[in-house]
């Protein structure tokens, strides 16, 4: 008996040792995987105001918080935004390219807003138009005072086989972990050409009276990326800034002033839902915190938008939304359910390739599943495998002040292909009309390590099973 006990004890120790030595090994459970990666438990804290990443540029009225996003639906225009503090200055952008070094001038506008006892700087937005596709442009802001120069590359012309790489970041905030995520993304050799951002930016609303100084610090923190490649913005709950207790009752006031997006180019009436087309991808941005029931502007816009998606021109149909429809963590559980009920039949009908969401501060990737069989009498209410359905990826793991979502529902649902409570970012590399490589990178690894990945097979051109767990 004693020997058997020792043997069992030895086996237990061996298994424990193997798990310790191979922390990246995932445990198979119901077809999906719950990662056994053990992350160091530490408090997620905002970087203090004096941090180097928040330092304002020197010089009188120097432009700061510079960021760019598409200025039309296809990337022949770019919105350049920045803030000046001393005085309005000029909302001008000088820009040029190697082929055309003659400086062109675009004129924009500036805006200010007040939020409780905070007064914003002068927020400038200027749209550069008639740009060439796939061209590097240099640009200069702060004309008349302290100038600063940056550059960006416009997207290639829409074409079904044009490769393009997107970075994916969500729920970033401004903690030490947020800084790691951004640095990790920047140093990734497969870094994107644009970032698809799935909402919750600064987390300023975690401060008393939503201290909007933290909107400014966030803008300065991310400038090292947002000034050089377009970030495609999605709104999350931390953009609402709805605070009737301090008489701030205009939802999205700071976001709406600071982050302009080209919503009108896709026929939208609000900057919270819109679409863009880049290379071989049609990207639809949805708003979890704007009305989406039947007859609402967002519902009617999406109903009209989906039939416009031409998979012969843009094979890849990608949706960004903040609140996930499928999430097996214990946090925000079922918060995305009402939007799922409204829109999921359309996503299956139009064969959306992938839906990226945030909100839950962890990582998860689903199988292709749908849950559209239910009606009020049949009781068919479980998700099932569906090759016409999107893969749902939760990438709300940017590293914000609210910390990591660690509690998962158990057992892992069959639809959950991989889940892990770590911070990180993802990369989607579209290769051609049929294949795209997706990878997720946790912050704790060396930059090149891929913690989760899959090859996406396009739902229109190559709709074969691309499950990574069960076939
Ligand atoms: Fe959120």
CATH of the domain at 314: 3.60.21.10
Asked, for residue 363, whether it belongs to a domain, the answer is yes
- Phi/psi for 34 (5° steps) reads -105, 115
- The count of structural domains within the chain is 1
Per DSSP, helices labelled H in 127-226 are: 176-187, 213-226
User: What pLDDT is stored for residue 65 in this prediction?
Assistant: 98
pLDDT at position 445: 79
Q: What pLDDT is attached to residue 30?
A: 47
Residue 142 confidence class, pLDDT cut points 50, 70, 90: very high
Residue 5 covered by a domain? no
CA atoms of 265 and 263, how far apart (whole Å): 5
Query: How far is ligand 1, taken at its centre, from the CA of residue 141, in Å?
Result: 32
pLDDT for residue 23: 39
Active site residue 30: no
343-381 pLDDT, tens digit each: 999 999 999 999 999 999 999 999 999 999 988 899 888
Looking at the domain assignment, is residue 27 inside a domain? no
State the distance from the centre of ligand 1 to the C-alpha of 302, rounded, in angstroms: 22
Q: Which residues surround ligand 1, an ion (CB under 5 A)?
A: 200, 236-237, 359
Say what the pLDDT of residue 203 is: 98
Local structure of 164: helix, strand or coil: strand
d(C-alpha 152, C-alpha 232), whole Å:
14
Ligand 1 centroid, distance to 87 Cα (angstroms): 34
> What distance in angstroms lies between residue 172's CA and the mean position of ligand 1's atoms?
10
Query: Is 325 within a domain?
Result: yes
Q: Is residue 103 part of a domain?
A: no
In a domain, 192, yes or no: yes
121 in any annotated domain: no
E strands in 112-206:
114-115, 118-119, 122-128, 136-141, 148-153, 164-169, 194-197
Residue 470 — pLDDT band, cuts 50, 70, 90?
A: low
DSSP strands (E only) in 185-285 = 194-197, 231-232, 274-278, 281-285
CA 108–ligand 1 middle distance (angstroms)? 31
Q: Which of 217-226, 247-256, 371-380 has the lowest mean pLDDT?
A: 371-380
Q: For residue 42, is pLDDT > 60? A: yes
Domain limits for position 433: 157-199+272-470
pTM of the model: 0.92
Ligand 1 center from residue 322 Cα (angstroms) = 7
Q: What does the pLDDT read at residue 448?
A: 66
Structure tokens at 5: 């006990």
Per-residue pLDDT band for 456 (boundaries 50, 70, 90) equals very high
Helix (H), strand (E) at residue 104: strand 104-107
331 pLDDT higher than 50:
yes
Query: How far apart, in whole angstroms, are the C-alpha atoms of residue 203 and residue 266?
Result: 28
**What is the Cα Rg of the chain in Å?**
23
In a domain, 25, yes or no: no
- Catalytic residue selected from 67, 332, 361, 441: 332
């Amino acid at each position: 008996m004693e020997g058997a006990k020792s043997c069992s004890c030895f086996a237990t120790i061996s298994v424990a040792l193997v798990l310790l030595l191979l922390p990246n090994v995932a445990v198979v459970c119901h077809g999906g995987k719950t990662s056994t990666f053990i992350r160091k438990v530490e408090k997620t804290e905002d970087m203090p105001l004096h941090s180097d990443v928040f330092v304002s540029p020197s010089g009188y009225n120097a432009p700061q918080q510079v960021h760019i996003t598409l200025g039309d639906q296809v990337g022949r225009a770019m919105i350049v935004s920045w803030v000046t503090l001393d005085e309005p200055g000029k909302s001008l952008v000088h820009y040029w390219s190697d082929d055309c070094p003659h400086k062109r001038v675009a004129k924009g506008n500036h805006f200010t807003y007040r939020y409780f006892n905070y007064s914003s700087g002068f927020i400038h937005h200027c749209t550069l138009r008639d740009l060439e596709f796939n061209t590097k442009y240099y640009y200069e802001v702060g004309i008349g005072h302290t100038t600063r120069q940056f550059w960006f590359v416009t997207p290639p012309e829409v074409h079904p086989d044009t490769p393009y790489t997107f970075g994916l970041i969500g729920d970033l905030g401004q903690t030490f972990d947020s800084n790691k995520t951004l640095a990790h993304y920047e140093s990734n050799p497969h870094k994107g050409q644009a970032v698809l951002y799935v909402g919750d930016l600064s987390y300023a609303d975690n401060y008393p009276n939503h201290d909007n100084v933290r909107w400014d610090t966030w803008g300065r923190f991310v400038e090292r990326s947002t000034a050089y490649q377009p970030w495609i913005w999605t709104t999350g709950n931390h953009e609402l800034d709805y605070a009737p207790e301090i008489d701030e009752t205009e939802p999205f006031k700071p976001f709406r002033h600071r982050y302009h997006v080209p919503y009108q180019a896709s026929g939208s009436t609000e900057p919270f839902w819109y679409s863009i087309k880049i290379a071989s991808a049609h990207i639809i941005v949805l708003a979890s915190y704007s009305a989406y029931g039947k007859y609402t502007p967002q519902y009617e816009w999406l109903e009209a938008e989906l039939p416009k998606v031409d998979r012969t021109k843009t094979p890849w149909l990608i949706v960004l939304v903040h609140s996930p429809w499928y999430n097996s963590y214990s946090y925000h559980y079922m918060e995305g359910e009402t939007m799922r009920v409204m829109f999921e039949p359309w996503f299956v009908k139009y064969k959306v390739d992938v839906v990226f969401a945030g909100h839950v501060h962890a990582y998860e990737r689903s199988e292709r599943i749908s849950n559209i069989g239910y009606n009020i009498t049949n009781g068919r209410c479980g998700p099932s495998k569906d090759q016409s359905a999107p893969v749902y990826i939760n990438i709300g793991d940017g590293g914000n002040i609210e910390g990591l979502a660690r509690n998962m529902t158990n057992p892992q649902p069959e639809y959950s292909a991989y889940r892990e409570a770590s911070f990180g970012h993802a990369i989607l590399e579209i290769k051609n009309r049929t294949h795209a490589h997706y990878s997720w990178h946790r912050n704790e690894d060396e930059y090149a390590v891929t913690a989760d990945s899959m090859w996406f097979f396009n739902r229109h051109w190559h709709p074969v099973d691309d499950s990574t767990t069960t076939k």
